[in-house]
Copies of this chain bind each other. A is one copy, B any other.
């Protein structure tokens, strides 16, 4: 007899991925498709269903359930996607529709929350009751487990760690506020800052401009990272400012939540892994010493698989009688 397994699905703005995840949190098989945003919710839902069938074809047993992480705000309980700007969705009853179509129990959550479930149960947070995951990608998101409980908050939006204010007079954020951590240290903000610097003085920004083939608008985080490695003083200076913001934000979070482990992931972190040590060092200077005394600052363990693994794990816990804490 096959061991129990679940399907984990990650619906992002560019691709959707479905995975067969076993009891040990290992991905046994996966299917990917580009996200068909233009087709609207029904096209994406159809693609999700097809991915699920593809995974079930090769399996002997029926999965325990399906967990879905979606880049948007999700209503607790109903699993309705209230708002997903990257997908252009509003009020899509995703959980209900999938459940109806596939005849399996389905649970829908936010994509970053799903990744936090993954890191908690099978990644860098394993066995720990107090973790804070911060994923620094294009945007900054995260999730918090405190006292062995995944925090969800009043409207299921707890853990928006990218939108903590670290500079109340700082630059405008995509959310409308000023000086959010994301507006100073998210991938989009780093790209914007680099372009501004090059635009202000192309001579000084020569290296980054060359790397971008002479096109200012092609300058992005990857180029900044390469320029830093190449010793470019402008890129280094820019990243010093980003580190200051990340340290300020991490101090806020450590003081407010007092996690045992601060787990850092996302494209910006994996692209510049020395950020972890710099954040750790800065934190120990600025955060309250009592809040840091047991703290470990460590990289995420599951990389890009955290989302599907976490979504599947959430489904297993929910539908195997071990309801998620």
Contact = CB atoms under 8 A, between A and B. Distances in A.
A3 interface: no
Interface in A163-190: 163-169, 175-179
A204 interface: no
Contacts of A256: 144, 158-161, 164, 253, 256-257
Contacts of A138: none
A287 interface: yes
Interface stretch (A39-47, A63-71, A145-153, A232-240): A145-153
Nearest to A169: B167
Given A154-B259, A293-B155, A167 B164 contact: no
A173 to B, nearest CB: 10
Interface stretch (A12-20, A241-249, A305-313): A241-249
A290 to B, nearest CB: 5
Nearest to A162: B255
Contacts of A73: 290
Copies of this chain, tallied across the complex: 2
A288 interface: yes
B158 A288 contact: no
B82 A290 contact: yes
A166 B149 CA distance: 27
Given A167-B168, A177-B251, A257 B155 contact: no
A257 B82 contact: no
A87 to B, nearest CB: 15
Contact of A146 (B158, B161, B166, B295): B158
B177 A287 contact: yes
15 contacts: A73-B290, A149-B149, A153-B257, A153-B259, A153-B291, A154-B260, A154-B295, A155-B294, A163-B255, A163-B288, A165-B166, A165-B248, A165-B251, A175-B288, A256-B257
